[in-house]
Structure 1
Amino acid sequence: MAATEVKDDRKSAALAAQRVKPNQGARVISRFGLAREILRSTEMRQAGAGAEQAPRVDVEHRSVFFLDGEEHKRKRTAIARFFTPKAIGTRYRTVMEHTSDQLLADMRAAGGGRLDTISFELAVTVAADIVGLTDSNQAAMAKRIQGTLFGTYFLHRNAVLRRAAQLVSVVNGLRFFRSDVKPAIRARRKQRREDVISHLIDEGYPDKAILIECMTYAVAGMVTTREFIVMAAWHLFEKDEVRERYLAADEQGQLAILIEILRLEPVAAMLHRRSNADGELLAVSIRDANVDESVVGGCPFAIDLDRPGASPANTYMSFGDGSHRCPGAQVALNETRVFLDRLFRVPGLRLTREPTMSWSDALMSYELRGALVSCSR
């Protein structure tokens, strides 16, 4: 008797299996329950992702992403107002809709476009509004931010290439500071606004610490969202039933579909934590936890639009968990939802070239480039 074929809708699984590597000496955690317990534990601290090599600024002005304990809790609480459902549903929703309409109007005028470029412009604009990077040219800023990551593509090359690539990243970082961060700081020193940079100025952060915070938000809020938008679009282009359900659903139904896609294709693959008690290093596999049958049920590798327990409130491990859970999770989901709802209503829309998938060892995530779409002018 032939074995039952297991349906597997994952696009990034094979590449992730080749490239995801825990930090040396780390014990890999694959089960959902234990992963959640570790990420929620107050006896664990951040490790990996640069946390243990974070830029050395004084603790008072260190990025919230690289803090633990009471200091992290205090700073996380202070920025929570920028990521509330009310802020997303009112102020940021307007930015998402207006920017999506502009980008898609440009795409229609050209008869098509490159999906990763369009989605990155959207992600940059939304995150920039939250952070306060609104006093420079957004398209030029997107290129500078991309340039700061240049060095991450040469991590495993020879020393000469690594140093040259790092120099390019540093130069782009300086350009980002001079052209984007500094003007935003100047404007907000004159008049505060409801954004992160204004908050940091009120907290007494020096310019260097503000730059580090802006760089961290750029990666967390712009780069990763671009990948998810392209990945979700790729699935919707290929799967007629999923696309039809998406376009017929209300907002909550659309979010549930996106979360199910993200469950299979989490942008971040692994999180590291170190025990305060004995110093043990643990690597939480988000990809494994998200397909744990004890939590997600049967057919864990398939997109199931009626999966029991699925809801917009249940994002599995896709955005982490515990005190360091991604604060912008709902921002990323909502801007993706707004953009894709509009994209797939464009007349004559077709995917004319699938994206090329590569891997970022530095971010431990997939990257999708070169997806081309065409549409009626």
Structure 2
Amino acid sequence: MRTSGRTRPDLPGPRRPAFRDEQGVWQVSDLPGARAVLRATDTLQAGLGVETVAKLPSAFRRPVLYQDGPEHREYRRQTARFFTPRRVESEYRELMHRIAEREIGVLRRAGGVDLSELSLRLAVDVAKAVLGLTESRAGTARRLERFFPEQLGRPGFGSPRGVYWAARILYLWLAVYAADVRPAVRARRARPADDLVSHLLGEGARVGEVLGECLTVAAAGMVTTREFVTVAAWHLFAEPDLLERYLAGAEPDRLAILHELARLDPPIATLRRRTTAPLALPDGTVIPAHARVDVSVAAANADAAGDPANGLTFGEGPHRCPGRHLALQEADIFLTTLLGDTPGVRMAAPPRVSFNEEFATYSLRGLVLVTG
């Protein structure tokens, strides 16, 4: 298959040993080194707003994304059942088909639409089902999209712009709480269900902690799955031979193709860690304790030499993405419905690509689908 993606056509670059850049951050881009960093237990999460979360009172339970050590392992053990292939098959497959039909119905009626609008609602509604946000008011996708814009400013109180972003985040936080989380909490306290909100309440989580976890999981589903569905469709529309193979394949073959496309264009290009003890890499480099480490997933995936099973798109080690099977399954259901069951569908315009440096993600907007 291909050796480079569509969002970063300059990759792969030359393999380079780990090094410390001018800002003092260690850069790791080879696959063995990247895997060693992500599997290490003497590291902590960095980036993705972890520095802001660290300022919360110690009594406040951190969302799982920002946990490390025994607390993190126990939470992952208790919640693993929500993301197993069997659970996806029994609880979410029918839902994903309904959402796909609903969203592609929008395209059929309109005759033309931006794919990112459809993939946004797909990603958010599947994430809501996993969480248990089934009593939300209309507009969840828009609330979350405003909460995680393509470009995020830095909140603070030292400048008018910083104050604006602080007020904006507070307002949006309260909007998601009032319209999505509070109704779910009330319903689950009255009648618990088999979902994450019920699990958190059963563990004694406060409403603010439930809100933080819901925002984290919803963001992971929205930001990554939304973009992945779009980039996969871009590949398939632009490469007729690949599209033919995809539509002719059985489900395992289609999932293998999507896994490969995820390797080529990982929605999160960089994962960040901070060491708590010296960390030895396979090439002999030793990263000292208390160092910031940036792992280039995009470069390490290129170093995987075309083997998607070796890629790090879904992470590695303690923070490996629990929803990887869910994401691939919903992408496959949506794309087979779009490309196999929608007569005359075609890409009228490729997407424009932008990058959010704060979260190391790409955004694809303007991939216009038309029918007829």
Distance 1:281-1:153 versus aligned 2 partners, 3 A rule: closer
Distance 1:184-1:10 versus aligned 2 partners, 3 A rule: same
- How far is the alpha carbon of 1:59 from its aligned partner? 5.8
Distance 2:358 2:225 in 1: 16
Gaps of 5+ in 2: 13-19, 278-288
Distance 2:10 2:173 in 1: 30
Partner of 2:299: 288
Taking the TM superposition and a 5 Å limit, the aligned residue runs for 1:1-377 are 9-13=4-8, 24-54=23-53, 56-58=56-58, 61-138=61-138, 140-150=139-149, 152-155=151-154, 159-277=159-277, 278-292=289-303, 295-296=304-305, 309-310=307-308, 314=309, 316-345=311-340, 346-376=342-372
- How far is the alpha carbon of 1:355 from its aligned partner? 1.2
Distance 1:151-1:241 versus aligned 2 partners, 3 A rule: closer
Q: Is the contact between residue 155 and residue 362 of structure 1 (CA under 8 Å) also seen in structure 2?
A: no
Distance 1:211 1:271 in 2: 24
Distance 1:338 1:23 in 2: 45
Distance 2:159 2:11 in 1: 26
The answer to which of 193-202 and 25-34 deviates more is 25-34
1:78-131 CA distances to partner (integer Å, 9 max, x unpaired)? 110100111111111111111101111222122222200000000011000001
Partner of 2:282: none
- How far is the alpha carbon of 1:8 from its aligned partner? 5.6
- SS state of the match for residue 164, structure 2? helix
- How far is the alpha carbon of 1:361 from its aligned partner? 1.8
TM-score, length basis structure 2: 0.88
Q: Over aligned residues, Cα RMSD in angstroms?
A: 2.4
Partner of 2:286: none
Q: Is the contact between residue 3 and residue 302 of structure 2 (CA under 8 Å) also seen in structure 1?
A: no
Q: Which amino acid aligns with 1:224?
A: T
The answer to which of 280-289 and 225-234 deviates more is 280-289
Distance 1:222-1:232 versus aligned 2 partners, 3 A rule: same
Partner of 1:3: none
Distance 1:189-1:317 versus aligned 2 partners, 3 A rule: same
- SS state of the match for residue 284, structure 1? strand
Q: Sequence identity, in percent?
A: 37
Distance 2:147 2:21 in 1: 24
Partner of 1:299: none
The answer to which of 196-205 and 84-93 deviates more is 84-93
Distance 1:42 1:232 in 2: 33
Gaps of 5+ in 1: 1-6, 297-306
Distance 1:363-1:70 versus aligned 2 partners, 3 A rule: same
- How far is the alpha carbon of 1:57 from its aligned partner? 4.6
Partner of 1:302: none
- SS state of the match for residue 188, structure 2? helix
- SS state of the match for residue 343, structure 2? coil
Q: Is the contact between residue 44 and residue 273 of structure 1 (CA under 8 Å) also seen in structure 2?
A: yes
Q: Is the contact between residue 30 and residue 285 of structure 1 (CA under 8 Å) also seen in structure 2?
A: yes
Distance 2:170 2:264 in 1: 34
Q: Is the contact between residue 290 and residue 316 of structure 1 (CA under 8 Å) also seen in structure 2?
A: yes
- How far is the alpha carbon of 1:273 from its aligned partner? 1.5
1:313-333 CA distances to partner (integer Å, 9 max, x unpaired)? x26100110010111111111
Distance 1:128 1:111 in 2: 28
- SS state of the match for residue 272, structure 1? strand
Distance 1:85-1:173 versus aligned 2 partners, 3 A rule: same
The answer to which of 91-100 and 21-30 deviates more is 21-30
Q: Which amino acid aligns with 2:362?
A: Y
Distance 1:131-1:233 versus aligned 2 partners, 3 A rule: same
Distance 1:84 1:23 in 2: 42
